[in-house]
Amino acid sequence: MDLSAINPVLLIASLMVAATPILLAAIGELVVEKAGVLNLGVEGMMIVGAIAGFAITVESGSPFFGFIAAAVAGAILSLLFVVLTQVAQANQVASGLALTLFGLGLSALMGQGYVGIKPPATPKLDIPVLSDLPVVGPILFSHDLVLYLGIALTAAVWAALKYTRMGLILRAVGENHDAAHALGYKVVRIRTLAIMFGGACAGLGGAYISLIRVPQWTEGMTAGVGWIALALVVFASWKPWRALLGAYLFGGVTVVQLNLQAAGVAIPVEYLAMSPYLITILVLVILSADKSSAPAALGRNFHASR
């Protein structure tokens, strides 16, 4: 065992990379849940985003188009959830599970020709002086652009929910859809847009895994990240900045356990590999006592009787 081989600067830099897919998916789901909808299909949308982004990047040679395609694929898949829950009034839990099961199958089907291929590298930020700074450079100024997008998105969602009229309407729909409907807001339309935003974010998160974090395509490669993102929204009490904090915490656990595996610690690999899931459970236990900040209409379907 050689713990000195672990470089703290690289550790923090890779922690941020590991956290980004969770963050992207969690921010998307946070908006969905703020609108009063519980979409358990995050894992399915992520994995479809992962393969869509991967395939388009490989075919076009451009990660930019890949990420766009991933967001579009996630949003399209989320439309299936819209049809089920907003139009057909189906149970949201069951519909979300259906989305995940379907997405896992669909991604495996789409990804058949892409196993074992290496995608073109995504360009990283390179600012002449700043990126070369000793400690600060690798941590703050030399990541790929999507990582910064994730942080920017967190800020944008926070500001939009807190300061804009759009955010207020979204929250109203999530707290009491009947009152929002009575005020003349289009509950179904607003929820549809929120669900599509969530799908696009999940798709981006998935593509981040297949294009940057791993980067490769294997079946079922998201391995529960979508579910961890769902847990993270609860952890964050539906607050964007706490989602960022939580994502970095989970990213940290993942990276540390991978580093410990590499350093050959005397704990068996399997026990290290299960640690992110166990910590998710632990965090859920600690934080689930307080549910006061959950949107009041979460998981309830809306049907205008008139």
Chain residues that interact with another protein, rule: CB under 8 A: 40, 80, 83-84, 87-91, 93-95, 97-98, 101-106, 108-109, 112, 219, 223-224, 227-228, 230-231, 234, 268, 270-271, 273-274, 277-278, 280-281, 284-285, 288-289, 291, 303, 305
- Least separation in angstroms between residue 130's CB and another protein is 39
Query: What is the amino acid identity at position 47?
Result: I
Phi, psi of 268 (to 5 degrees): -60, 145
Is-contact 71 200, C-beta < 8 A?
A: yes
When the beta carbons of 121 and 281 are compared against another protein, the nearer one is: 281
- Residues 6+ positions from 75 with CB-CB distance below 8 Å: 196, 197, 199, 200, 203
- Least separation in angstroms between residue 306's CB and another protein is 8
Helix (H, G, I), strand (E, B) or coil at 145: helix
When the beta carbons of 76 and 133 are compared against another protein, the nearer one is: 76
Is-contact 21 213, C-beta < 8 A?
A: yes
- Least separation in angstroms between residue 124's CB and another protein is 31
When the beta carbons of 26 and 68 are compared against another protein, the nearer one is: 26
Q: Inter-axis angle of helices 8-34 and 165-175, to 10 degrees? A: 70
- Least separation in angstroms between residue 270's CB and another protein is 4
Phi, psi of 124 (to 5 degrees): -105, 160
When the beta carbons of 20 and 107 are compared against another protein, the nearer one is: 107
- CA 294 to each of CA 38, 153, 168, 213: distance values in angstroms, whole numbers, following the listed order: 11, 21, 15, 32
- Residues 6+ positions from 28 with CB-CB distance below 8 Å: 42, 197, 198, 199, 200, 201, 202, 205
- Least separation in angstroms between residue 93's CB and another protein is 6
- Least separation in angstroms between residue 261's CB and another protein is 12
When the beta carbons of 135 and 282 are compared against another protein, the nearer one is: 282
Phi, psi of 207 (to 5 degrees): -65, -30
- Least separation in angstroms between residue 184's CB and another protein is 8
